[in-house]
Amino acid sequence: MTLDLDLLPDGGVPWLDASGPEGHVVLSTRIRLARNLRDAPFPPRASDAERAQVRDTVEAAVRGTEELAGGVTVHVDELTRLERQLLHERHLISRDLAGLGPGSAVRGGAALVTAGATGVMINEEDHVRLQVVKSGFAPAAAYADLERTDRQLGACIPFAFHREFGYLTSCPTNAGTGLRASVLIHLPGLVLTKEIAKVLQGLTQVGLTFRGLYGEGSEVVGNLFQLSNQTTLGKSEEELLDHLGKIVRQVIDYERQAREVLLRNAPTVIADKVWRAYGLLRYARSLSFEETMNLLSGVRLGAGLNLIGDVGVYTLNKLLVFTQPAHVARRAERGLTDPDLPAIRAEFVRQLLDEDARRKPRGGASPSEA
Amino acid sequence: MQCQRCGERPAVIQLTTIVDNTHTEQHLCEACAAQQGIQTEASLAKFPVGDLLGSLSKGAATQLPTAEATTRCPSCGATLQDFRETGRLGCARCYETFEAPLRTLLRRVHGASRHMGEPYVSPGGDGAAAARGPAVAPPELSALREQLQRAVEAENFELAARLRDEIRGRN
């Protein structure tokens, strides 16, 4: 099986269009539900034959749902490592399903069905991991879509459900609702004003947790944080989402205030930071992934503060996805460890920024004014 | 200012400690602060809380009573020892086989063991589904006691009194 990501509806990343609410601070809202079949062993304990059977059952059921009926099905275990990493970089599959984690390998029966904003991972840690990703800050809209698909799927295949504990999951930390909502949020203001540690610590005290760009166990790069609910049991779906929503709104407010403080107290420093980041991205001849992420963060801040009009948030979102290692390697038809990748990445960034600058009228303080 | 501990790196953290009315102030670099167990921006970013949650579930698994360790799930054959090692249960039936220790674990991890979310009815609503049943009102006595405990812990005495009366009414 060869994977052509262009065949995926919207490349599997419709949220990149930055059309959602609070798009300058919140990139995306993702909600997932963990579900298991009542009568099959959980994927980590199942044999490959049992996993294949689960895959067939879930795939057939998924075709009966409204959202996923016309979806693309990918058997992850039949892909090359590069292709698996591509799907992971697009946030369509987890590191575990892709078999990319340390000491882990992709297992038989690992599959993905995806259509627009909705997707389902089959045979991850749980049989079914249903997810919806929306642009910007949109938990209610994401959950509405998700709930419909969950109901249709659950009416077709019997899920494991306990009278007291609710939906049963492979790891007890997901039991109950099986719901994890994460908001991918850009917090450069709080990082620059050194308020971030306080905010993150506060989050953990109110039952939220934060992760890096790639979810559990990943480091924070480019000032991007994923904020999500820590517990899944003892509260209703609405309560969990409502609580997360309230706290995220507060974090958005803190970030806004931090940006205002920066702009008021150190306008030149901020403008310089933003334009330097832009200048490097626009003209550098070699860029590592991490440097690119950090520079993109600077430019994104500038776009949010209207300091820079040469580049749109859509382009910044596209760069965030398409400059990742597997994407650059795939584009240039090179291997993942090819020494020319930083140069190829820089060329791609220049090209996209160039196109954007030509399309967009100059706004804010242009380099000649700054 | 240089770090007062290593004298090499620049001090970025001012640590104030008050012990027996004695007030001491230390200026530390990020590394030395981390060594003293002080969470800084850098150390926070390196250790996402998600990891903590993962280790918590595994850690909690190791605290489960050992008497249960030899019981096997009749459906998948998993033991509590397996769970202790992997942090993952074998199948849905494990939740019934190890119900009591798992209830304790769920309470520790989530602060509750009762599902308050959407109820679920299996396709066709067959016998097995009815036995598993959706979580419906009225709450069981054990749930009320749990709520009472929580209300007392949260010093919500008004709610606690109401719950106490309800529990008495049922007895």
Which of A163, A212, A218 is opposite residue B135, by nearest beta carbon? A163
- Predicted local distance difference test score (pLDDT) of residue B46: 39
CA distance B20 to chain A (A): 27
pLDDT category at B66 given cuts 50, 70, 90 is: low
pLDDT of residue A149: 96
Among A284-293, A309-318, B96-105, B141-150, which is the least confidently predicted range?
Answer: B141-150
Bridge partner residues of A31 (DSSP): A132, A181
pLDDT in tens, A143-154: 999 999 999 999
Q: How confident is the model at residue A354 (pLDDT cuts 50, 70, 90)?
A: very high
Would you say residue A7 has pLDDT above 90? Answer: no
pLDDT interval class at B53 (50, 70, 90): very low
With beta carbons under 8 A apart, name residues in chain A contacting B150.
Answer: none
Percentage of residues of chain A with pLDDT beyond 90: 82
Inter-residue contact A232 to A179 (CB < 8 Å): yes
CB A152 within 8 A of CB A118: no
pLDDT at position A26 is 95
Whole-number Å distance between alpha carbons of A118 and B67: 44
How does the average pLDDT of chain A come out, rounded?
91
Higher-confidence residue of B105 and B29: namely: B105
Q: Which is nearest to A170 in space by CA: A32, A46, A31?
A: A46
Looking at per-residue pLDDT, the higher value among A45 and B38 belongs to A45
The answer to whether A246 and B123 are in contact (CB under 8 A) is: no
- In whole angstroms, what separates CA A111 from the centre of its chain? 18
User: Would you call B89 and A42 a contact, using CB atoms and an 8 Å cutoff?
Assistant: yes
Q: Which of A239, A226, A245, A229 is nearest to A138 (CA)?
A: A245
Listed residue (B29, B1, A204, A196) closest to B15, CA to CA: B29
* pLDDT at position A221: 86
User: Is there a contact between A164 and B113 if contact means CB atoms under 8 Å apart?
Assistant: yes
Residues in CB range of A357: below 8 A, 6 or more apart: A282, A310, A311
pLDDT of residue B170: 66
Please check the confidence at residue B149 and state whether its pLDDT lies above 90. no
Q: How far is CA A277 from CA A282, A366, B106, in A?
A: 9, 14, 47
* Residue (of A211, A253, A193) closest to B44 by Cα position: A211
Average pLDDT over residues A340-368: 80
Across A337-353, average pLDDT: 96
At B48, the pLDDT band (50, 70, 90 cuts) reads very low
* B44 chain-A contacts, CB cut-off 8 A: 197, 200-201
C-alpha to C-alpha distance for B100 and B98, rounded to whole angstroms: 6
pLDDT in tens, A109-130: 999 999 989 999 999 999 999 9
Residue A156's pLDDT band (cuts 50, 70, 90): very high
pLDDT at residue B42, rounded to an integer: 43
Min mean pLDDT across A51-65, A356-370, B144-158 is at A356-370
Instruction: Name which of A70, A203, A227, A69 is nearest A139 in CA terms.
Output: A227
Residue B10 — pLDDT band, cuts 50, 70, 90? confident
Average pLDDT, integer, range B38-51 = 42
Q: Which residue of A has its CA nearest to B40?
A: A197
Residue B167 pLDDT greater than 80, yes or no = no
Lowest mean pLDDT among A74-88, A240-254, A267-281, B14-28: B14-28
What residues have CB less than 8 Å from A19, skipping those under 6 apart? A135, A136
Identify the pLDDT of residue A103.
78
**Per-residue pLDDT for A270 more than 60?**
yes
d(CA B38, CA B5): 14
- Structure-token match 């340390």, residue found: A102
Q: Is the pLDDT of residue A316 over 70?
A: yes
pLDDT of residue B2: 79
Rounded to 5°, the CA angle A180-A183-A187 comes to: 145
List the single residue in A with minimal CA-CA distance to B58.
Answer: A171
Region B131-150 average pLDDT: 61
Give me the residues of A, 202-231, that contact B with CB < 8 A. 204, 209-212, 215-220, 230-231
List the one residue out of A13, A148, A3, A136 whose CA is nearest residue A80. A3
Q: Does pLDDT of A194 surpass 60?
A: yes
Q: What is the pLDDT of residue B50?
A: 34
What is the DSSP annotation of chain B?
-B-TTTSSSBP-EEEEEEETTEEEEEEE-HHHHHHTT---HHHHHHS-HHHHHHHHHHHHHHTS-GGGGG-B-TTT--BHHHHHHHS--SSTTHHHHTHHHHHHHHHHHHS--S--S-----GGG-HHHHHH----SSPPHHHHHHHHHHHHHTT-HHHHHHHHHHHHHH-
**pLDDT at residue number B49:** 32
Mean pLDDT is lowest, of A99-103, A247-251, A276-280, B18-22, for B18-22
DSSP state of A7: G
Residues composing chain B: 171
Q: Which residue has the tokens 């090819």?
A: A338
Alpha-carbon distance of A283 to A287, in angstroms, equals: 10
Q: Which two tokens stand for residue A50?
A: 């049992």
Least confident of A97-101, A242-246, A321-325, B42-46: B42-46
Interface test with A, best of B47, B63, B104, B110 (most A CBs within 10 A): B110
Whether B40 and B24 have beta carbons less than 8 Å apart is answered as no
